Amino acid sequence: METDLKLESSLWVGNKRYRGVLTGWHFYWTEVDKNRDKKTISVPVAEVVGVEEGCVEILPRKSVEDTDKDFTVFYVKRSSSGGSSGFLWRLGRTQFSCPSRVLRDQWTKHLRTALKTHSPLRPKRLLVFINPFGGKRKGRKIYHSVVAPLFELAGISSHVIVTERANQARDHLLKKDLTDFDGVVCVGGDGMFSEILHGLIGRTQQEAGLCENDPAVILQPCPLHIGIIPAGSTDCVCYATVGVVDPVTSALHIIVGDSQPLDVCSVHHASALVRYSVSLLGYGFYGDVLAESEKHRWMGPLRYEYSGTLVYLSNRSYAGIVQYLPADPLLSSPRDKIRCLSGCSVCSRSTERLFSHSSDSASLYSSHCSQFSSDSEGEWVSVEGRFRCVSLTCMSCSCPRSPLGLSPSAHLADGTGDLILVWDTNPLDFLTYLHRQTSTQDQFDLPFVEVHRVKAVRFCLPSGKEGESYEEIGGGNCEISDEERGSVETENSASSQQNLAETGTGQEMADEQKTVPPFMCCLCCSKTPAVSVWNCDGEILPFTEILCRIHGQLVHLYARGIEDEATIQNCREESNNCERRCILHNKTGLNFGL
Ligand SMILES: CCCCCCCCCCCCC/C=C/[C@@H](O)[C@H](COP(=O)(O)O)NC(=O)CCCCC
Ligand SMILES: Nc1ncnc2c1ncn2[C@@H]1O[C@H](COP(=O)(O)OP(=O)(O)O)[C@@H](O)[C@H]1O
Ligand SMILES: [Ca+2]
């Protein structure tokens, strides 16, 4: 098989002569007729986008000149993203001339066979959903002007649905025939992605006869890949899995059939599934921001900055009881400063663990409604107090607003989530925390912030508050907080904590009186409501008391994680090693075409 893919011959690019070599894994061309500094351009076959006979241009797509000795190769070219963490991918194009038509046909045939062999997950047929109202309302334009021509070039056929209502994509995926599709593409933001996620997970469990309501059930991973073309307001899932928010980059990841597994958190209330989450499940600040922002959707993505400012000024904190099941601390830690990048070793090691021991985990959730059980893997920990925010995330949650994310060392596919507890503190401290989320400063190196790597979380209200409902900013039915009574001192009101480490806990903060500068005291809200709402990937949950469980690698995206120079180099070395092993195994030399 491998021998059929190899080819070497003279090729011309313009009026320069090159030696072109296809090894099966790589296609490279080196300038000849040059005494020194021979320049070689090497493209991994897995990153070839398409091969066309003749001289072909794309955007607008046309055959400029069809000489019968020419062929054009399109491939992935990386360029710096100028500040973001990943690379922008662009379409590279080189037009080659062969000494004969026979050789030209050999080149195109070999290249096409090689790319089928080396990227088996390349999609042939995709189901595309466009939310025309997401973000700056440019979804349709982005798809038709940027993405569709690339799909066409790569020989991908797509069935496109422009949604007319919320949940249309989810309902379609739950009910309609999906045979013949290799993947589903979402053109929109995190909310639109969430629809696709719910449709595909729900459909897969229906077909497997599994009950999604049961938090103990081991869910079936979805067979269809999901591609995201970012056209939303936060685009966190795209940014955290690709490293940039750029439709061309994302389209190219889809075309080459990249595959990135993703952890998913199931959220339950009273023995029923409420929703799934992959990015932010946030109570307190992030819940309030979402609730406020819905009133200002007309502002587009800016609604979050505006609402964030209003909610910050309203200076709220909420009482709650958080219980969590810690993940194995020997495997990784949210403060180990190891970022989840392309080819992440923490996630790779998790793959085997997740799929070999998953049946053991059922016992941990089976008694969730009465009492939490424990097993050899760890014990449930319970903390109670007042929080500025409680956040649970299965990934870093990096996005353009927060380039390293809410939990910079969280992993995309390790089967765990990071629980961030921000205890009640004075407004200046909280501002410091929020500001650190937007910079490279460690947001966990603050005495009122805790982070835990977890497998499951439960949140409930202290007794007496269960019946309360969320009040919008300026609403009634509220508690009066100490600050609002005119006090210039706040306290962390963690009333009980069990099994917490001795240092750096919210309890310490309870002992420490904080002075609040008078100008920071609650500016626009005179009352604090008793409860907040949960922001679940941009949707408000209808319940406050929830149980969450992380399901490792439940879905796969057309992505490969965030690339940096080191990950690209590792990837090249790995591909060269594979190639060497293959050559040794086949014991074959190159098949010289000319
Ligand atoms: C006063 C300004 C506060 C600055 C804090 C900046 C920190 C931003 C962290 C954002 C994390 C985002 C996690 C992702 C959440 C999305 O699922 C959700 C829905 O997105 P979309 O469908 O695209 O609208 N987005 C949000 O909840 C926005 C949170 C923004 C808070 C300022
Ligand atoms: N045609 C439509 N009309 C109204 N809402 C829609 C439509 N299509 C999708 N939605 C909903 O819009 C919400 C926000 O979409 P999203 O693409 O995430 O944009 P944004 O990032 O700006 O919030 C999603 O929850 C989705 O369910
Ligand atoms: Ca994770």
In a domain, 366, yes or no: no
Same domain, 212 and 268: yes
What's the residue count for the chain? 594
Cβ contact 392:275 at 8 Å: no
Ligand nearest to the CA of 550: 3
List residues bridging with 90 in a β-sheet: 77
Query: Which ligand lies nearest to the CA atom of residue 404 in the structure?
Result: 1
Q: Is residue 329 part of a domain?
A: yes
Q: Cα–Cα distance between 146 and 91 in angstroms, integer?
A: 11
Whether residues 125 and 264 share a domain: the answer is yes
Active site residue ranges: 190
Q: Which domain holds residue 159?
A: 121-276+552-563
Same domain as 284, residue 265: no
Model pLDDT, residue 51: 95
108 and 33 belong to one structural domain: yes
CATH of the domain at 183: 3.40.50.10330
Residues 295 and 429 in one domain: yes
Residue 3 backbone phi and psi in degrees, to 5: -60, -35
* Beta bridge mates, 453: 418
At 208, is the secondary structure helix, strand, or coil? helix
Query: Is residue 488 located within the same domain as residue 529?
Result: yes
Distance CA 270, CA 482 (A): 33
Let me know if residue 364 belongs to a domain. no
pLDDT over 70 percentage in the chain:
79
Residues with CB under 5 A from ligand 3 (ion): 263, 394, 411, 414, 416
Examine the pLDDT at 335 and tell me if it is beyond 80: yes
Give the Å distances, CA to CA, from 268 to 11, 304, 361, 517, 549: 61, 27, 17, 40, 8
Same domain membership, residue 392 and residue 286: yes
Domain count, the chain: 3
For ligand 1, say whether the CB of 189 is within 6 Å of any of its atoms. Answer: yes
Q: What is the per-residue pLDDT across 520-536, written as a single tens digit (0 to 9) for each?
A: 334 444 467 889 999 99
Q: Do residues 183 and 254 make contact, with C-beta atoms less than 8 angstroms apart?
A: yes
> How far is 521 from 46, CA to CA, in rounded Å?
57
pLDDT tens string 241-266: 999 999 999 999 999 999 999 999 99
> CA 91, CA 435: separation in Å to the nearest integer?
36
CA–CA dist 315, 338 (Å, integer): 33
* CA 304 to ligand 1 centroid distance, Å: 7
Co-location of 58 and 149 in the same domain:
no
Q: What is the pLDDT of residues 442-468, one digit of tens each?
A: 999 999 999 999 999 999 999 876 666
Q: What percent of the chain has pLDDT over 90?
A: 71
Q: Decide whether any atom of ligand 1 lies within 6 Å of the 372 Cβ.
A: no
φ, ψ dihedrals at 459, nearest 5°? -125, 130
Do residues 178 and 148 lie in contact, with contact meaning Cβ atoms separated by under 8 Å? no
> 111 and 128: one domain?
no
CA–centroid distance, 279 to ligand 1, in Å, is 10
The residue to mutate among 190, 264, 309, having the most atoms of ligand 1 within 8 angstroms of its beta carbon, is: 190
Q: Distance between CA 78 and CA 357 in Å, rounded?
A: 39
- CA angle 220-223-228, nearest 5°? 115
The CATH number for 76's domain is 2.30.29.30
**pLDDT of amino acid 464:** 73
The answer to whether residue 428 is domain-embedded is yes
Q: Give the single-character DSSP code of 38.
A: -
3-state secondary structure of 23: coil
Q: Specify the CATH number for the domain of residue 291.
A: 2.60.200.40
pLDDT at 396 over 70: yes
Distance of alpha carbon 291 from the chain centroid: 23
